Structure formats: structure tokens, C-alpha cells
Structure 1
Amino acid sequence: MGFRICSVLLVFFFLLGIATSSLLHYDTPETPAEKGRSLLQTKSNKEEEKRKKEEEEKKCAFVNNMNYTIVTSQCTRQPLSYPVATCCKSLKRLMCKYRDQLNPNPKCAFFMFENLHNKGKYPPTILKYLCEQFEGKKKDLDCFGY
């Protein structure tokens, strides 16, 4: 009886080993550095990305000179949260003032929110959330009356 159980277990583990060995890959994954000159290519890609980012920042230089006090003076934290209507209206006033420069390059809006986050000490994406709560999810900014 003991020999029979041992032989069944031996066959079971043998078959299990064969089945799982086909699922495992013992080869090391190929890294980009193993392809010869890829190190130089990676370096040039990083330099190109850095150059593109600098170009985008130059196109959006006006963002650093924007008057953010329109938002930071009116959108201040209340005891429980930020006032939705006040924050959204002040953000809309700021964005509509610079809409002709923000529209051609969407990265400029990203840099604007980054600066606003740093100057106003707002939590990440709070202004977007508040305005979606106030006006609903809209694709375009409605600047009628601003």
C-alpha cells in the first residue's frame, strides 16, 4: 500500500514538473543595452525629449507671467472644502483671459495648472474636480461673458 502511494505521487509530481516547465522561461530577458549601440540611441532620445520640453516651455513662456492672484485670492480653503462656485468662476476668468494663447498648445494649460498648484498650494486636480462639479464635464471652455 505504501509503495503504491509513493509511485502515484512520484508519477503525479513528474507530470506536474513536465507541465510547468513548459510555462517557465529560463532565458534572461533581453534588455535594450544588449543590442549594441542602443545606449547611444537611448541617450539621444533623452536629449531629444529634453529639447522638445524646452521648446514647449518657450511657447508657453506667458504662463510664468500670468496673474494667478485672480484665483489664489478668491479660491481659499473654507472649514470643510473649497467654495465650488467661487473657485470655478475665478479659474474661468483666468483661463478666458489667456484663451487665445492656451488653445493652440494644450501643454500650456498643463504648465498653467502646475504653476497654479505651486502658487496656491492647492491639492492636485482640485480645481478641475471643482469645476466639473460646478459645470459638469465639458470638453470646451465656455468664455461667454468673460
Structure 2
Amino acid sequence: MDLRNGCFLSIFTVICCHSLFAGCSSSSFISDGVFVSQSSTGRHLLQNKKACPVNFEFQNYTVITSQCKGPKYPPKLCCGAFVQFACPYADQLNDLTNECASAMFSYININGKYPPGLFANECKGDKNGLECPAQPPSDSHDHSGTLFNSKPSCIIVLLVAFPILLAWFI
């Protein structure tokens, strides 16, 4: 009986840890695919994209518009501001089945009146794309309430797993 409980406890712990790490992980890069024009040449017949879960219309673009200014558009300032703005949405932007990248760039260009392709031509990363620095959790990026954060799922896993594990030892 103790062997069965120990085996169950081990399997349960592995599943909980896997769920915890999978639910809490997020992109640490912005893929170069987000820079590809949505109207690029190629066959996109009947390929409808999903709506973006982030409402980019009402985001605060001052982090970009205050630092990335023409006529020279300094790459270091522009790319730094772009990364600062876009990294909190890396998961959504890297999902090329939705309209997030095109919506974000449309609103960046509307708010900053930037030349087409400015960020694609100036901001170069490595083979994975632009690296996103680790950021502390913050709810200041999306005040519209349209983006669901995956962090509560981590808390739910812990809240469910802890009492069950505690019950086995009591």
C-alpha cells in the first residue's frame, strides 16, 4: 500500500511540476516573422487569421514615440523602445496565425508616423529574433482587459496541488 501511494505521489509531483513550468513559460524572443509584411507576395488564399487577443488600438505608444524620432531614427533608441513595447506581447506577436503583428505595426505607424519597414530594417536580432529581457510581472501593459495572462494558471496549479500533497503526508 505504501509503495502504491509513493508511486502515485511521484507521478502526481512530476505532472504538477510539468504543468507549472509549461503554464508559466513565455517567449523570450520576438520572432523575425513579425516583421514580414502581411501583404507579402505568396499564396494566402482563404487563410483567415484569428483576431488578436490584445487591443493594440488603445496601447500607450509613448515609449516608442518619445525615443524613436526622425529624421535619423537612431537604431539603438528605436530598437530599444520597440523591444520594450513589444516584448510583453511576444507570445501573441509570434503567433503568425493571428493579426497581432500587423495590428501592432499599423498602430505604431499611425502613432509615430514612421517610414514603412523602419523596425524590420533597423532592428536585427539573432537566429531566434529580437531578444526580450526578463521582465517583472506587471499589469500596466494592457489596460483594456482583453489579454488574458497565463500566470493565474500557475497559481491554480499550486493551489490545487498543495492541499493534495499535504493530505498525503497528514
Question: How does the TM-score come out when normalised to structure 2?
Answer: 0.45
Q: Which runs of 5+ in 1 are unaligned?
A: 1-48
CA deviation digits over 1:61-98, x for unaligned, max 9?
A: 422222211111110114xx111100000000111122
Which residues in structure 2 correspond to 1:111-126 (within 5 Å)? 111-126=103-118
Kindly tell me the number of residue pairs found equivalent between the two proteins: 90
| Structure with greater Cα Rg | 1
Which residues in structure 2 correspond to 1:66-85 (within 5 Å)? 66-78=59-71, 81-85=72-76
- For 1:126, give the aligned amino acid: L
Structure 1 runs (4+) deviating above 4 angstroms are none
- For 2:73, give the aligned amino acid: Y
Paired with 2:133 and 2:60, the residues of 1 have a C-alpha distance of 21
- Which residue does the alignment assign to 2:92? 101
- Structure 2 residue 119 is matched with structure 1 residue 127: yes
Question: How does the TM-score come out when normalised to structure 1?
Answer: 0.51
Higher helix share: 1
Q: Tell me by how many angstroms 1:114 deviates.
A: 1.2
Paired with 1:112 and 1:83, the residues of 2 have a C-alpha distance of 21
Q: Which runs of 5+ in 2 are unaligned?
A: 1-45, 136-170
The answer (yes or no) to whether the contact 2:52–2:92 under 8 Å persists in 1 is: no
- Structure 2 residue 133 is matched with structure 1 residue 144: yes
Pick 1 or 2: higher relative contact order, CA cutoff 8 A, min separation 6. Answer: 2
Match of 1:62 among 44, 55, 59: 55
